[in-house]
């Protein structure tokens, strides 16, 4: 197997499940020194065992700046550099406009926006020319799905970050891009759909390719954006959605 990330230090927030875990596995298989974060220690431990290849789990909340500081202090001690950041931690909650309260707003923008800003900001002192940042967005930032305006707006912010940070970091030679999945068959979504087959059928019909995505399909796109194969791609949003946003 090609080792595109041999000796690269890779940080993945929210790496104990779903897209984050799938991405961590691929980076590790291709030679990366992978650090994942998550809030629940038992899930983090299970994920590290699945990833193998010397992956390290650092328990922490991406919305907690002290936890992020501790993460990067650990990496500075171990390697004194960060080559790739996949700012993946996020949440989805559908809340109609009339039902939004302050707690909804704080939790959604806390994880999807605030955590992303400081995950990237605190990595920068360890990043050098040629480093890469990939942000996890969503087609919801472009599609404006009804009944989830907070989520849609939080993911639109991610798209804006990639544009702005590409300009902010261009003199340092650090690229920033967004991977934006559509419906993806993570473990949690799979368990929900198994109990709601009619929902799965409707979702599949809404996708031009006729099915939900797989975590590995998103993960492979992240690795492309993080690799030298995408060396002239910057400030871009790459949809991994079976054609939903484009058709």
Complete DSSP assignment for 146-183:
TT-HHHHHHHHHHHHHHHHHHHHHGGGT-EEEEEEE-S
Per-residue pLDDT for 117 more than 70?
yes
Q: Does the domain spanning 9-186+215-240 belong to CATH 3.40.50.720?
A: yes
Class of residue 180 by CB neighbours under 10 A (exposed 0-12, middle 13-18, buried 19+): buried
* CA dihedral angle for residue 62, residue 63, residue 69, residue 72, rounded to 10 degrees: 20
What would the two tokens of residue 214 be? Answer: 């797989």
Per-residue pLDDT for 144 more than 90?
no
Residue 106, pLDDT score: 98
The answer to whether 125 touches 169, Cβ cutoff 8 Å, is: no
The answer to whether 29 touches 53, Cβ cutoff 8 Å, is: yes
At residue 133's C-alpha, the angle toward residues 130 and 139, to 5°, is 140
Which one of 35, 145, 151, 192 is the catalytic residue?
151
User: Tens of pLDDT along 31-74?
Assistant: 999 999 999 999 999 999 999 999 999 999 999 999 999 999 99
Residue 179, pLDDT score: 98
What's the pTM value of the predicted model, to 2 decimals? Answer: 0.96
DSSP state of 35: E
DSSP state of 209: T
Q: Is there a catalytic annotation at residue 151?
A: yes
**Residue ranges per domain, the chain?**
9-186+215-240
């Amino acid at each position: 197997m090609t080792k595109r990330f041999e000796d690269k230090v890779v940080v993945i927030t929210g790496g104990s499940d779903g897209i984050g875990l799938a991405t961590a596995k691929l980076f590790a298989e291709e030679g990366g020194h992978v650090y994942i974060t998550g809030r629940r220690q038992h899930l983090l431990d299970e994920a590290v065992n699945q990833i193998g290849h010397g992956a390290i789990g650092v328990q922490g909340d991406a919305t907690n700046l002290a936890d992020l500081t501790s993460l990067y202090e650990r990496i500075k001690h171990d390697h004194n550099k960060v080559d790739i950041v996949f700012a993946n931690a996020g949440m989805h909650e559908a809340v109609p406009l009339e039902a939004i309260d302050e707690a909804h707003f704080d939790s959604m923008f806390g994880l999807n926006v605030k955590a992303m800003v400081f995950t990237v900001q605190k990595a920068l002192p360890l990043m050098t020319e040629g480093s890469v940042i990939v942000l996890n967005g969503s087609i919801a930032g472009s599609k404006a799905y009804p009944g989830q305006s907070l989520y849609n707006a939080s993911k639109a912010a991610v798209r804006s970050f990639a544009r702005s940070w590409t300009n902010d970091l261009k003199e340092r030679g650090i690229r920033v891009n967004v991977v934006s999945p559509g419906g993806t068959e993570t473990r949690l979504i799979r368990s929900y759909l198994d109990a709601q087959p009619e929902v799965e059928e409707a979702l599949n019909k809404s996708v031009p390719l006729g099915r939900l995505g797989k975590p590995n399909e998103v993960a492979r796109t992240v690795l492309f954006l993080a690799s030298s194969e995408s060396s002239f791609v910057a400030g871009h949003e790459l949809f991994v959605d079976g054609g939903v946003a484009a058709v």
